[in-house]
Structure 1
Amino acid sequence: MKTSKAKLVLLCVFLCVTLQQPAAAQKPPAGLIKNLSVIDKHFSGDRALATVALLQNYWRHAGNRDFNLGMAAIAAALRAGGYSESDSRFKLLVRDTLLAHGRAWQPDFAELRLLAPNDTVLHSLAQAKMMLCPNSHATPPQGMRAELVDLDSLEVAPGSLRGKVAYTRRPPHEVFGEAALTGEAAGLISSYLPDFNRPVEHPASISMDAIPYVDSLVVFAFKISYASGVLLDSLLRHGPVLVQAKVQAQFSAKVVREVTAEITGSQKPEEMIAVIAHLDEPGANDNASGCATLLEMALALRQALAAGELPAPARTLTLKWVEEIATVLRWQRSEPAAFAQVIAALVLDMAGEDITQTGGSFLVERAPDPAAIWTRPPDQHTEWGSSEVEAADLQGTYLNDLFIAACEGRGRLARNGWQVHSNPFEGGSDHVPFLQHGVPAVLAWHFTDVFYRTSGDDIDKVSPQEMANVGVSAAATALFLAQGTEADAIAVVRLLLNRAVQRLENETRNSLAALGKPGADPAEEEKILRAWQRWYEEAFVSVRKLALAPASAGLTAKIAQAQRQLQRLTESKVNAIRRGRK
């Protein structure tokens, strides 16, 4: 049916007035608000912080002793909180997987001492976990004394570094072949820190890095701070430098423990909402805070549900503590039929930062949408950087806007000034394998963090309030997804339409601004608006999977109505662009 220009103008006015509310005025669905309010009563940020403190006792490398002890501590807390291997409703599962070709690395002691011209300890493992690179081998018990040579100023010949320790300002994994394989150095010392760690401002920070494992090679590698690097640079300019390295570390078979807390669905227990946090990485924020937040979510959900304060989930809530990315991939490969029943996934990674200290922001990393290809204000990528995304990778989903709305709703209810931001898809965490297998997934994280993967990532940079903000939002969203009523689904359609209108208004402004600049491509601007139209049309359709029952006539009509309104609005915006380019 054709629409006259006059009717089109009236429709656009109606949509702009009635649908394009400011973000702060857009309330989440009523069921989601109730979940937020009730779960908040049971979530303890202080208890989560105590869990972070406990996990910080362990150097968590996937499959090593400390990793599995951390998993055991999480399982013990779940048992104490009412989960059990024998409970069919609140079920605890602990699984150990032996990886035949894997290798676990466990550090126990490390010390780097400067012997000459001064005698002083530069760094120790007890002082800074990040100072010893994973895959470092043990030294003799008495340590190893060696001359320190400046690798960056040398032409390395085969065997030319034998019996020496090579110093570099580059990442150790980048120079490993040159120094250890070719030069046969006994060890490496690197002062490298990425620019976003702001080494001059934080001269004591030591950034984490790893070296490759080579069966036939016994070698160690240390990371040192910017301040220690300045010292070594100065000493090397004035004469010989002698160091002593002591390392106690061992390699063993890789047995990866994973812990799962399940709240069994009452109607469709085979369908799952997954919430994931990885335990590997030794930092407090990365990712003890994500694991502690997930643990507190599990405890709060059990308390609220057992007390009857919230309706039982119709789908199963599956909360997993894992090895980053690898566990989810193993899950998909070993249980493809069960994995295919995952409706959506929420991932917690670096969930608890005190942003007043780290300089980061709370972010929801969205499942791929057109901003991952055409990144325009207010969207921007973090210093993590973008991933290559093609138009074929885009699949509209309700999950992005729903979780953002939950976080915004949490901020309003808590009245604590929580700032919620989002970023286009970048990758790098446990949401990636879900997305690769067609499961909608979002990441709750913080970045850019000046202490990311450094010795500064300690418990003093973790905020119990931030863990409560993230955890309550994620728990409320997961339960909402597991409840899946038709009323909830219709409310999500309304939410999506509001957000779609906002997005089209914003992208139209971007396009008109672009067309005012030399060399702008009008066809490209239309292409971007059409991409957002298609993405949101698909997002509306995705709401059918949120509802437990097959889409009713009422839900189907609401989806079709929203799609028509979006199509008409898009046409008006495309016409505005065409007029703007003349």
Structure 2
Amino acid sequence: MKRSGWLIGLALIVFITAVGSAQMTTWFQWTYLPQKLMDEIIGESSGETAFNHVVVMGANSRDRKAEEYAGTLMESQYVLDQLKSYGVKDAEIARFPGGETWDGVRGELWEVEPIHQKLASYTDLRAMLAEGSNNADVTAELIWVGEGRSSDLEGKELAGKIVVTTGQATMVHNIACQQKDAAGVISIASPRGGTDPFSIPFGGIRTFSDKPVKFAFNLPPREGALLQSRLARGQKIKVHAVVESGRQKYDLQDPTCSIPGTEPGSEEIILSAHLFEGYVMQGANDNYSGCAAILEAARTLHTLVESGRLPRPRRTIRFLWAPEFSGTIPWVSAHPELMKRTLCNINLDMVGLQLSKSLSFLVALRTTYGNPHYVNDVLEHYYRYVSESNRNYIANRYSQVDARRMVAPTGTEEPLYYYIATHFGSSDHEVFNDWGVGVPAVMMNNWPDLWYHSSGDRPDKLDPTQLKRAVIIAAATAYTIAAADDGIASQIAGEIVSNASGRLGHQLGRGIEEVKRADQNQLPGVYRRTRGYIQAAALNERNTLDSVIELSSDKARMGKHLSTLKAALNSLEEGSLKALEGQMRMATALAGTKPVDVDQTPEEKKASGIVPRPTPKIREKGYRGYRAAIDEAAKTSGKQGAVSNAGQAAAEIQLLCNGKNSALDMKKMLDTQFTRPTELDSIVQYLEILKVAGLVDY
């Protein structure tokens, strides 16, 4: 009996083990590159080195001296020196005309009555003195004005007093100082006061008035709360404020270098990061982290290629550090021929946070439908690889042999929390994405960042491990595209279709939900619009597949392969549309109404015949060089309203003019990407302006 029970127990264990093994799922621990080459990139990339770059450049917020503005800015020189020490031969600083910037010299705020104590000092924290503050030497009484709105100031005598507010310094200054003659502002505003009582938001005084600017100090939430409490109790507090500031001339400085490809005059991939965002705010994560990451990516790839551990890629990989927008725009404009050869841009803006500390993710921000490109899927590929190689699945807990540990010696062992997001601008990749430049560009970014644009953005918030992972992802993505042959190109194309199934599924799920929420009167319009979501997403996937052809040597063979993959995409689209139709028919059956008619309206038929083709004039003057032609065309045709009606969709309408998308396609693609539907007539009218301007033809 005991022996029989033992055998039964053993059989159960074997059965359960077999079932458990059968439930194991393969995770995505593969890459486009051979594992040996991927291991070289993983091993050589150093999160410690990247972190040390951040510490050198941004351990604290420095006061720049006049001599620095007159010569080479510290960060520019540091990047150049590091590149030269690595043996990068073409490292240089490109310079462009700059302008003048506000320069804080001194800012002291002392309480003089009823006690003597220092409240704020520019020397202690640069963010304590609002950028734009003018010279002052004032002794004045404090007065509490709440949020500092006009209604808060009514009935208060502010002349000659310094107002204390929870409002933003610039807003309160423009009302209290310029309209009611207050002497200055003390702001205790902090959108992060609940999470960091020491952090002060960086901000400046901006005014459109002819009256001279006065001054503003910012206090951290903890100290601000104490001051607010004293004023609320009716204490009379008098302070002495001293401000010294000036203006400094500067030039725009763009360190740059490259890893040359094997093919002369080859295509290029550009890695970028903004080195400056103004010259007062100096953020560790925003954006010394991005600069440090591409500096380490440059060292890693240069070292591996020069030592023969990585084959030299066919295409050139270029690196660009620049003042945000203001330095990237002239550099791009100065290299129109290079832009024609550039396949894509990968921009790193805030990539080093310890993610759990900021409740953050490493986000990949895709291109819009107007710039469909395989770089989106290559970047996503390495996000997934790095993340899944550094996590432990309960189903796979006995099989970690394929995992690749990507952890810095002094970094955390946290997972890589990430997500793939739709497009968002507000950084240098938008310069490349511009219609006049035409380089598809994506961005790597941490969000949320609890210390964004604040005095708390210091290296203690960063994690060498996450910096290492950002370096690996950026370096591997750039190298994969630079080295891609027909084999890698076909892999990329296949993965686009694989990922497309999820993206189409998302639009199907979105459509089903919107149909479910629609009432009987709304349903026809909602159903037609949600069909457009699926059609637009599928069209974008087909356009993305078309972009892969540029990586191929045998265009004819690759074209046939892409046609096969497009047929698979068409089947996915058809299946999704049928599923959505089923949801619509169920909704109408339950409501006792007829199914929705999806025949095109006369307006839609007309719009489907408008297929604008871009003209060479678009890129003749580079970044936004086409804007003058649009404004002139709108003026001469008397249709300025067509430009304003297009609104925020205008830039995307421009990009969607590829000689294949109709005006009706554009509406579907805009409605899929934007939260509010775009009127078809607005699109058609805007296209007419572009045609008059000579920018498109149809």
TM over 0.5: yes
Output the CA distance in 2 between the equivalents of 1:354 and 1:114.
38
Question: What does residue 418 of structure 2 align with?
Answer: 420
- The answer as to whether partners of 2:153 and 2:176 remain within 8 angstroms in 1 is no
SS in 1 for 2:195: coil
SS in 2 for 1:529: helix
Instruction: State yes or no: 1:133 paired with 2:130.
Output: yes
Question: What does residue 548 of structure 2 align with?
Answer: 543
Per the TM alignment, residue 516 of structure 1 is displaced from its structure 2 partner at its CA by 2.7
For 1:156-235, what aligned pairs fall within 5 Å after superposition? 161=158, 163-194=160-191, 197=192, 199-212=193-206, 217=212, 219-235=214-230
- The answer as to whether partners of 2:362 and 2:445 remain within 8 angstroms in 1 is yes
Instruction: State yes or no: 1:409 paired with 2:385.
Output: yes
Distance 1:488 1:193, change over 3 A: same
Distance 1:295 1:450, change over 3 A: same
Per the TM alignment, residue 216 of structure 1 is displaced from its structure 2 partner at its CA by 6.9
- The answer as to whether partners of 2:253 and 2:327 remain within 8 angstroms in 1 is no
Per the TM alignment, residue 63 of structure 1 is displaced from its structure 2 partner at its CA by 11
Question: What does residue 565 of structure 1 align with?
Answer: 568
Question: What does residue 109 of structure 2 align with?
Answer: 112
Give the residue type in structure 2 aligned to 1:402: V
Question: What does residue 43 of structure 1 align with?
Answer: 45
Give the residue type in structure 2 aligned to 1:300: T
2:239 maps to which of 238, 243, 246:
243
Aligned length: 519
Per the TM alignment, residue 295 of structure 1 is displaced from its structure 2 partner at its CA by 1.2
Distance 1:442 1:156, change over 3 A: farther
Distance 1:363 1:538, change over 3 A: same
Question: What does residue 146 of structure 1 align with?
Answer: 140
Output the CA distance in 2 between the equivalents of 1:58 and 1:192.
20
Output the CA distance in 2 between the equivalents of 1:63 and 1:26.
52
1:186-230, CA deviations, whole angstroms, 9 ceiling, x for partnerless residues? Answer: 432212223xx2x12322221111112789735322222222332
Question: What does residue 657 of structure 2 align with?
Answer: none
- The answer as to whether partners of 1:187 and 1:220 remain within 8 angstroms in 2 is yes
* Identical-pair percentage: 25
Question: What does residue 290 of structure 2 align with?
Answer: 290
Per the TM alignment, residue 337 of structure 1 is displaced from its structure 2 partner at its CA by 2.7
Instruction: State yes or no: 1:357 paired with 2:351.
Output: no
Q: Bigger shift: 43-52 or 241-250?
A: 241-250
Give the residue type in structure 1 aligned to 2:493: V
Per the TM alignment, residue 321 of structure 1 is displaced from its structure 2 partner at its CA by 1.0
- The answer as to whether partners of 1:60 and 1:282 remain within 8 angstroms in 2 is no
- The answer as to whether partners of 1:186 and 1:218 remain within 8 angstroms in 2 is no
For 1:309-328, what aligned pairs fall within 5 Å after superposition? 309-328=309-328
Output the CA distance in 2 between the equivalents of 1:510 and 1:60.
51
SS in 1 for 2:249: strand
1:273-311, CA deviations, whole angstroms, 9 ceiling, x for partnerless residues? Answer: 111111224111111111111111111111111101111
1:29-53, CA deviations, whole angstroms, 9 ceiling, x for partnerless residues? Answer: 235x555421222222112111111
Output the CA distance in 2 between the equivalents of 1:64 and 1:178.
36
Per the TM alignment, residue 496 of structure 1 is displaced from its structure 2 partner at its CA by 0.3
Instruction: State yes or no: 1:278 paired with 2:264.
Output: no
Give the residue type in structure 2 aligned to 1:408: R
Gaps of 5+ in 1: 1-20, 370-393
Output the CA distance in 2 between the equivalents of 1:27 and 1:504.
24
Question: What does residue 15 of structure 1 align with?
Answer: none
Output the CA distance in 1 between the equivalents of 2:66 and 2:331.
16
- Choose 1 or 2 for highest CA Rg: 2
1:418-472, CA deviations, whole angstroms, 9 ceiling, x for partnerless residues? Answer: 2221222121111111111321111111111222112221111011111110111
- The answer as to whether partners of 2:289 and 2:352 remain within 8 angstroms in 1 is yes
Question: What does residue 55 of structure 2 align with?
Answer: 53
Distance 1:503 1:51, change over 3 A: same
Question: What does residue 5 of structure 1 align with?
Answer: none
- The answer as to whether partners of 1:259 and 1:322 remain within 8 angstroms in 2 is yes
1:237-295, CA deviations, whole angstroms, 9 ceiling, x for partnerless residues? Answer: 31332223344433111222210121122204353211111122411111111111111
SS in 1 for 2:310: coil
Q: Bigger shift: 174-183 or 398-407?
A: 174-183
SS in 1 for 2:327: helix
Distance 1:537 1:482, change over 3 A: same
Question: What does residue 503 of structure 1 align with?
Answer: 503
Output the CA distance in 2 between the equivalents of 1:95 and 1:407.
32
Per the TM alignment, residue 113 of structure 1 is displaced from its structure 2 partner at its CA by 2.6
Per the TM alignment, residue 361 of structure 1 is displaced from its structure 2 partner at its CA by 1.2
Distance 1:341 1:245, change over 3 A: farther
SS in 2 for 1:308: coil
Output the CA distance in 2 between the equivalents of 1:340 and 1:184.
55
Per the TM alignment, residue 555 of structure 1 is displaced from its structure 2 partner at its CA by 1.0
Between 1 and 2, higher relative CO (CA 8 Å, sep ≥ 6) is seen in 1
Distance 1:63 1:367, change over 3 A: farther
- The answer as to whether partners of 2:28 and 2:385 remain within 8 angstroms in 1 is no
1:529 maps to which of 531, 534, 543:
534
Per the TM alignment, residue 400 of structure 1 is displaced from its structure 2 partner at its CA by 1.3
Question: What does residue 377 of structure 1 align with?
Answer: none
Question: What does residue 578 of structure 2 align with?
Answer: 575
SS in 2 for 1:30: coil
Question: What does residue 8 of structure 1 align with?
Answer: none
Provide the TM-score with structure 1 as the length reference: 0.83
- The answer as to whether partners of 1:146 and 1:163 remain within 8 angstroms in 2 is yes
Distance 1:450 1:266, change over 3 A: same
Instruction: State yes or no: 1:455 paired with 2:449.
Output: no
Output the CA distance in 2 between the equivalents of 1:41 and 1:27.
16
Output the CA distance in 1 between the equivalents of 2:347 and 2:439.
12
SS in 2 for 1:358: coil
Output the CA distance in 2 between the equivalents of 1:481 and 1:60.
41
Question: What does residue 433 of structure 2 align with?
Answer: 435
SS in 2 for 1:422: strand
Per the TM alignment, residue 184 of structure 1 is displaced from its structure 2 partner at its CA by 4.1
For 1:382-393, what aligned pairs fall within 5 Å after superposition? none
- The answer as to whether partners of 2:132 and 2:205 remain within 8 angstroms in 1 is yes
Distance 1:55 1:456, change over 3 A: same
Instruction: State yes or no: 1:95 paired with 2:94.
Output: yes
Give the residue type in structure 2 aligned to 1:46: E
1:257 maps to which of 250, 253, 258:
253
